[in-house]
A and B are shown apart, each in its own frame.
Chain A
Amino acid sequence: MNPSSATAPNTNEYAGDEISAIVLDPGYSSTRAGFAGEDIPKSVIPSYYGIAPTASGSSQYLFGENSIHNPLPNLEIKNPWSSDGIVEDWDTATKLWEYAITSRLTGQRPTDPTKNGLNDGTNGEGNGQMDVDMDGLDDAEKPLAESPLLMTEPGLSSAKAREKYIEIAMEDWGTPAFYLGKTGVLAAFASGKASGIVIDIGASTTTVTPIVDGLVLKKGVQKSPLAGNYMSNQLRLIFAQSQPPVPLTPHFMVASKSPVDAGAPAQAIYKKFEVPPTASFRRFEEERVLTEFKESVVETWTGPNRLSVPGTEESLKNAPGRPFEMPDGYNQLFSAERFKVAEGLFDASSALHDPDNPRPKDEQTIPRMVQAAIHHIDVDLRPIILGNVIITGGASLTYRIMDRINAELSQMFPAPRIRLIAPGNTIERKYAAWIGGSILASLGSFHQLWISKKEYEEHGPSIIDKRIK
């Protein structure tokens, strides 16, 4: 058959060999899981989870998009990650990740194919195939007994965290083989690059990871809290500081609304709750509105001069704004404000701040982080690295953020050629690390790198530092 763009390449051409491995890419905002070799994760769930007291006094965990937005009484919304992008609550994280895998991929309790009745032949009495050894049965009870697991970790995880990952995978889930990939490296693989610098603008953190031949240069990894959540906080500050303040009402509180003029107070009928929802639930629901605002209104300022230059902001006041309507019907045109949200990512001095939200440090801005990362790279490699600037992460979908990054980097490094690489597809941008993991775990030449259960049993959790450097 003639090869064409429509037909998939032969697996031998790219050493593809799928072993039904599962790729799990946990993040602060969402957790992605799916089978290796597929092009998008089948299971994407929010990393936030709900915890509600039950009648018997114990607490019930709620996972998944469908269950956590229901305003149950005393429902608390939490996140197992700490705000600096490191897993804090390992027990819940394990449950959450297990949910991500079992809810869509493996099913709750996979039965052995010889026993599930589907394979019973005409002489269904069985001919001696049923006696499964008991060791195998033990493992078979665990959710991942059938599938090797590839997990992702942030570029800066500690040795302890790495050991925890393999412990969970081996002990709790009983996976036959395990591997831990760095998000930066995998995101670069998703773009088909083995060397480059990955700017990952996520929810809780922005990471800059220099990569050479598929290996992270650890000394160059930079991390800062200026990311999606920071932008949300900026937005809250903008709403609070504007005159009059912009009210922020989440969807669940509104029963019905009627149209009002721009800037006029909302006329809506609000729902009544016997037990008012918790603050964490309300905040979580407010975040959804803010996300919508960020997606539809916020734009990155691209010049000609900086937003902090006096006069620039005033000139924007006259420019036509962009309308946004809150769930309760309040609506307003936003002109200069929409540029200020993301400005702090690039220019710390123009970030809004109050006692709760301190002004970010200069070296936490994206250009300064790239500069610091490049500083750690050998001079010979810098042109190659700067020719492959890979941008991923959900917050990198902010309108025109690429233009801004390009302008900042070109100004900082005039001599070498700078090329930004960012998939145009939203899904590929958000789930780049998962896609890279999916590619990696479906390669035949990769299968020699798995850490097997046997190796884990011989060496213990410390094997992860020996095998995956």
Chain B
Amino acid sequence: MATRRDIQDIIGLPGGGDTPAPKKRAKTAGPQKKLHGVNREVAALYGERPPPVAVYEEKKTYRAKRANLGPVRPWIQQPFTNPARTDGLVLKHWRRKPTARPNIENGGDTAMEDADNQSPQLETDYEYARFNVDVSVPSYTDEEYEAHLRSNEWSREETDYLLELAKDFYLRWPVIHDRYEFQSAKAEPADDAASAGDSILENPTDALSTLPYNSSLPRDPRSIEDLKARYYFVWETTLKLHRPPEAMESSEFELLEVLHSYNPDSEHVRKRIALALMSRPLDEVKEEEFLLAELQRINIAANRLDAERAELRERLEAPTPQRDLGPAGPLGNFQSSQALTALFQQLFQQDRSKKRASGSGRLSLSAGDIIGTPTAAQQAAYNAAAGSRKASMAHPPPPQPQLRALSAAEERRYGVSNHDRLTSGVSFGSDKLVKMRQAKSGVQTQKIAAVLAQLGFGDIITIPTARVGAAFEGLVAKVGKLLDLRKVREKEENEVKVLDGMRAKRAGEDPAATGSAPPQHGRDSTETQERDMKQEERDESLMEQSIADSTVGAETTYAEDGEGGDDAEGEEDDAEGEEDADGETNATSTRQVSEAVSTRAATTPAASVKAGHKRSASVLSAGSTRSRASTKRARK
């Protein structure tokens, strides 16, 4: 190709071929670079300097490149059939034309034309056909119906009709009930027969078809509960016919249970209540909201009080009083797994309501409150009511699988351990041990440290296994109790001293004045105080007893608990030996009380408490003996 320079050469012009290009370049690289996207006037304000903010030219910077997707792919109206249909209806939708043969280069235009004129292939696997789901309704043969499903209230035709509707409306019971218009002269129940017969006479059947949809057909007497009950009964029966309950899988059996537990009467009652709830006047609704708010407030206060009390009780760790309750006492209530589940639910619920109390409470009625399922209570009621039907079942439900309780030995053997919920991440056993030494107040922490030092524990426990940790925890708990006891004791000694002083004073004055019954009088004045003291002492003795119990528990035999009690009594005597010096009038009564309590505690199988003691004691026997020794020392 001839360039400009060539032409210049040919014409004979002076060869200035190099000059124009640098000029151009200089022009474009000049300082007056025009800014795009900025007003001319605004740009003039900048002067010579570059703009203070970098101005990006949007057009150049951010325009996305047009994706090159290859040659144009045409769309076609693709005919398709839907496998969910039985009639082979062919519909058309727009689809990309399937890519033609690969050798387009060779075929050229003629090949394209061929492809265009060919009618598109029929598409037969329709992707949305998978949404064609059907409900399966129970089916039965004539013999099965005669043998198992006959009913006085339901004819075979009506049952068939019900099943058909259930299938048509996908078990949507409100709709089934709405469309339920079974017409059979002989199937009409007696109470409705008269009115139904009349209207049928008035409207011959051929006229019925021309009536509008919701023509005033005889009001069907079947409630939605009746329909459900019949359907569930049929379902349950056919399920059992096809496979005996013993051979069923758990899911099937659960279904059977659910079906069996449906009780139309209780549903009726429930709906009546729900209706009453819904049709309250406005002021009642307002009142309820107000009361709910009030209840919430009370609950919050009660929960707080409970929490405080529980904390106090925990601190003192008095065994729960178990008067006049035998093995079926408070704990006996919770021996079955069901009861335990209920207890857990209750606790969980409390916990949740406590949490919710801080947030906003829900006051209004919502759908979830009204729609319910048959509950266990309803099931029980239904079982009682439909006893005859149950008897005819003759298939007792299989026993519930029992949870096996492991003994301590087995637990050790299988390496089973129970612990609190673990937090995420790594935690060290030694951290736990350190934490145990800490008390709420610094003074208390120091005291605990002092006692531990006295017992000969170093700051670091070398191998903090789980068992060591548990043992240490028990020890620290006992140390805490010991410190509490010391405090109480000091307080009471002081009080007794004061009272003694008062009595001595009065003894010096009184005999002259009354002379008749000085001790009685003195007793009156100090009665309340003494009662308090008795209470305290009893608590004290219980504490000691439990400590002693754990000591003896090292041998971990049930029978030895009695000995433990004795041991505790012995110790009691020791303790009271000191008390004797204080008040001779109440010493004997105190002893009686404490003896009574300790023996009772020893003989009653307080399973959980004892188990805890045993476990800790088995490891801790040496330690706790020492701690007992230290207790005594401290007292003396």
Contact = CB atoms under 8 A, between A and B. Distances in A.
A380 B173 CA distance: 11
Given A19-B91, A469-B179, A378 B174 contact: yes
Contact of B129 (A19, A379, A448, A469): A448
Contacts of A469: 168-169, 179
Interface in B314-367: 364-367
Interface stretch (B194-202, B211-219, B382-390): B211-219
Given A379-B271, A380-B370, A413-B278, A122 B213 contact: no
A17 interface: yes
Interface residues of A, number: 54
B429 interface: no
A116 interface: no
Interface stretch (B82-90, B230-238, B296-304): B82-90
A158 B212 contact: yes
A176 interface: yes
Contacts, number: 137
Contact of A159 (B82, B210, B278): B210
A10 interface: no
A415 B278 contact: yes
Nearest to A383: B367
Nearest to A376: B178
Given A447-B128, A454-B88, A469-B168, A156 B213 contact: yes
Given A380-B370, A450-B89, A469-B168, A159 B213 contact: yes
B100 to A, nearest CB: 15
Interface in A445-469: 445, 447-448, 450, 452-455, 469
Residue of B88, B278, B285 with most chain A CB atoms under a 10 A cut-off: B278
B126 interface: yes
Given A158-B210, A220-B178, A380 B116 contact: no
B82 A447 contact: yes
A218 interface: yes
Contacts of B84: 448
Given A18-B94, A411-B282, A380 B214 contact: no
A217 B87 contact: no
A455 B87 contact: yes
B87 A454 contact: yes
A387 B275 CA distance: 16
A159 B209 contact: yes
Contact of B212 (A156, A212, A213, A455): A156
Contact of A215 (B89, B126, B128, B175): B175
Contacts of B93: 17-20
A218 B217 CA distance: 12
Contacts of B87: 452, 454-455
A217 B177 CA distance: 9
Contacts of B132: 445, 448
Contacts of A450: 85, 89, 91
Nearest to A377: B174
B109 interface: yes
Nearest to B79: A19
B178 A414 contact: no
Interface in B274-314: 274-275, 277-282, 285
B175 to A, nearest CB: 5
Nearest to B217: A219
Contact of A415 (B128, B174, B214, B365): B365
A156 B212 CA distance: 7
B117 interface: yes
Interface string A429-447: 0000000000000011101
Nearest to B277: A415
Contacts of A137: none
Contact of B175 (A19, A217, A443): A217
B271 A156 contact: no
B557 to A, nearest CB: 59
Contacts of A119: 116
Given A17-B93, A122-B109, A447-B128, A416 B278 contact: yes
A158 B282 CA distance: 40
B85 A158 contact: no
B259 to A, nearest CB: 19
A424 interface: no
Interface in A1-40: 15, 17-20
A148 B274 contact: no
A129 to B, nearest CB: 5
Interface in B564-618: none
A17 B128 contact: yes
Given A18-B94, A445-B132, 10 more contacts: A129-B117, A158-B210, A159-B209, A160-B210, A176-B90, A218-B213, A379-B275, A415-B280, A415-B365, A417-B364
9 contacts: A122-B113, A156-B213, A218-B179, A383-B367, A384-B367, A414-B280, A417-B364, A447-B126, A452-B87
